[in-house]
Amino acid sequence: MLQNQLQHFRHHLAHDNSLLHFSLLGVVAGINCGLIMLAFHALLAFIQEQILPGSEADNFEALPLWAYFALPASSGLIIGIVMRLFAKHNSRTGVPHVLHCLHSKHGHMPVKNMLVQFFMGAFALATGQSGGREGPAVHLGAGVNSLMGQKLLFPNNSIRMLIGCGTAAAIAAAFNTPIAGVIFAMEVVMMEYTIVGFIPITLAAISATAVMRAMSDSEKLFAIPNIEHIAMSSLAELPFVAVVGLLAACCSALFIVILKLGLKQSDRPVIARCLLAGVITGSCALLVPEVLGIGYDSLNAVLANQYTLGIILVLLAAKVLATAASCGLGLPIGLIGPNLLIGACLGGAVGIVVESLFPGLNSQRGFYVLLGMGAVMGAVMNAPLAALMALLELTENTNIIFPGMLAITVATIGHSAIFKQRSATQTVFRRLNTLLRTDPLSLALQRTSVAGIMERQVLSTPQVISAISAQVLLDDAARQHCVTLVSSSREQGINCYPWQDIKPLLEAAIANQETEIDLYKIAPAFEAASPLHIQATLREALDLMNEHDINYVHITGPRLIQGALSRKAINHHASMPQ
């Protein structure tokens, strides 16, 4: 009974318009992500309790001076040794790995990469490596849902949707920003906006946020003083807002340049790369210990005006160097959290200068801090809308929208048009010479499974049959309204015949009282067909047809022949309004 219901559910997921069934997946995906994020946070907190003074989270500044260098350097060596135990392709983590699996592996994510991300990601962040937890969050959220889809034999188009849901849920759970999670998933990961995609992804973000708020401390990450008064005092501040965006573009471009230098070392042994990342972070920490860890405590200090201009500028430079180098050298960490701190330092510096030169302006320094956060995040990730939504949710103040739009837009334009830099994820793929198939046709074909449009009125038969078997075929075809006949033989392989073409030839052979009928001889104009699993998407089917220069695939599954799919059917589906 349960198996039949599951099969019925799979059948609905094969279509790209099954909104109700995808919505149910979204809810389940959000809960899965919330639970694995709770486990990740628990592991992170446990490790920090063992090594940090006072068992306080992110209390790296309380460490003795020698530990500022020794802790990240030694943990980098340990991470490298552990990752060396895995094959190179199993040590890839973070958002780039998720994107690669989504667009090149049809959403199938390996479990070994998840294990590396879960344990080594938590260890890296707990021991002071300069990174964020949203990279591991996205990987784990997408991975746990991909594994669920693979285990339940869901169609690949729905596994792709599960990854999008897991991404949105992860960002929502990491920052308590469900809207930003939805936009990030569609803007950066799925790379398309559709109603059928938006609703399940939104439900996933809601579910994950609800789980985190119900089962953990749901306090805001950032304490913004006088948040209700955060606003632009007058239009005279617009030039300064634009300056924040332009400086953010400079920081983001520098970040990508350093990231590229790290990526150029990708052919070196992983132990050497991770050790070097730890040494760089440790060296920066000797100068400014606030560079250790994610940096949310330092970000709150910038918001509270606790740092001088000199400290802010040194922290800004150290955080750019340590985070970009660590990510480029392959540590299993994220980069959004540190880039929020980078942006906060940048905005804080601008705010101090504006206060000094133009004391008549009434805007608070925190106003520029928030603009810097959104501008750097939007430029580095090439996700301007997600950055703007994150600003809105973090502040719960609509006054930030108008200046935020300007700062983020200027930063994004400056990053790509003036400094000619790509986003962090695009930079990684360019280094790996990996092409993501994100053109509109590929994305449209990946939204539907072959089971959604394949011909199910299919009869299968050996290539050589008797006259009696041929008559049985004719009778079965009439009763089942057969569309395609599939024949198989050791010599000729699998071939497809349109029933309307093969039917009169079989009738003629029977009328001629032939005792043995060879389908290949009576109908040489057959269509060769390669096998394709019923989980596959239309994109996979078209790729297989192009690879073998054929016009048919026969669909396999629990039974050898589940159906048949023609190139004509794919072309017709692609030409229909989506």
* 3-state SS string for 559-574: CCCCEEEEHHHHHHHH
Place 362 in a pLDDT band, splitting at 50, 70 and 90: low
Specify the pLDDT at position 28.
97
* Cα separations in angstroms, 103 against 68, 204, 426, 552: 40, 20, 13, 23
> Looking at residues 441-463, what average pLDDT do you find?
87
Backbone phi, psi, residue 458, to 5°? -125, 135
Specify the pLDDT at position 33.
96
Edge-first strand listing for the sheet containing 527-533:
458-462, 484-489, 493-498, 527-533, 552-556, 563-566
Specify the pLDDT at position 525.
67
Q: Is residue 215 over pLDDT 60?
A: yes
The full set of domains in the chain, from first to last, is 2-443 (1.10.3080.10), 449-575 (3.10.580.10)
Specify the pLDDT at position 459.
80
> Looking at residues 335-363, what average pLDDT do you find?
89
Specify the pLDDT at position 194.
83
> Looking at residues 137-153, what average pLDDT do you find?
95
Contact 316, 110 (CB under 8 A): no
Specify the pLDDT at position 563.
83
Specify the pLDDT at position 218.
58
3-state secondary structure of 491: coil
368: its two tokens: 């520029």
Q: List pLDDT tens digits, range 545-578.
A: 999 898 888 888 876 678 889 899 999 888 765 5
Specify the pLDDT at position 578.
52
Angle, helices 384-395 vs 401-413, to 10°: value is 150
% of the chain beyond a pLDDT of 70: 97
Specify the pLDDT at position 559.
66
Q: Which of 58-67, 499-508, 551-560 has the lowest mean pLDDT?
A: 551-560
Residues 6+ apart with CB under 8 A from 240: 350, 354, 368
CA distance 222 to 224: 6
Q: Is pLDDT larger for residue 478 or for residue 274?
A: 274
pTM of structure:
0.91
Specify the pLDDT at position 285.
96
CA distance 360 to 317: 30
N-terminal to C-terminal alpha carbon distance within the chain: 34
> Looking at residues 278-291, what average pLDDT do you find?
96
CA distance 33 to 479: 48
3-state secondary structure of 419: coil
* 3-state SS string for 17-61: CCHHHHHHHHHHHHHHHHHHHHHHHHHHHHHHHHHCHHHCCCCHH
Give the mean pLDDT of the chain. 89
CA distance 323 to 330: 11
Specify the pLDDT at position 31.
97
**Which H/E stretch holds residue 96?**
helix 94-104
Maximum distance among all Cα pairs of the chain, rounded to whole angstroms: 104
CA distance 189 to 166: 11
Specify the pLDDT at position 219.
61
Q: What is the amino acid identity at position 9? A: F
Q: List pLDDT tens digits, range 385-430.
A: 999 999 999 888 888 999 999 999 999 999 999 999 999 999 998 8
Q: Is residue 490 over pLDDT 80?
A: no
Residues 6+ apart with CB under 8 A from 33: 140, 141, 144, 145, 165, 166, 169, 170, 173, 204, 207, 208, 211
Spell 66-102 as b/e; 16+ CB within 10 A means b. Answer: ebbbbbbbebbbbbbebbeebeeebbbbbbbbbbbbb
Q: Is pLDDT larger for residue 284 or for residue 520?
A: 284
Specify the pLDDT at position 8.
85
Place 206 in a pLDDT band, splitting at 50, 70 and 90: very high
Contact 550, 529 (CB under 8 A): yes
Specify the pLDDT at position 62.
87
Q: List pLDDT tens digits, range 16-28.
A: 788 899 999 999 9
% of the chain beyond a pLDDT of 90: 55
Q: Which of 187-191, 328-332, 410-414 has the lowest mean pLDDT?
A: 187-191
Q: Which of 148-162, 314-328, 476-490, 559-573 has the lowest mean pLDDT?
A: 476-490
> Looking at residues 216-239, what average pLDDT do you find?
76
> Looking at residues 159-165, what average pLDDT do you find?
95
Q: Is residue 84 over pLDDT 90?
A: yes
| DSSP assignment of 135-183 | HHHHHHHHHHHHHHHHHTT--HHHHHHHHHHHHHHHHHHHHT-HHHHHH
* Cα separations in angstroms, 82 against 90, 241, 277: 12, 45, 15
**Which H/E stretch holds residue 486?**
strand 484-489
> Looking at residues 453-468, what average pLDDT do you find?
85
Specify the pLDDT at position 220.
67
**Burial, 572: exposed, middle or buried (Cβ in 10 Å; 0-12, 13-18, 19+)?**
exposed
Residue 180 CB neighbours (<10 A)? 28
Q: Which of 165-174, 305-314, 443-452 has the lowest mean pLDDT?
A: 443-452
Specify the pLDDT at position 17.
80
Separation of CA 208 from chain center: 16
3-state secondary structure of 555: strand
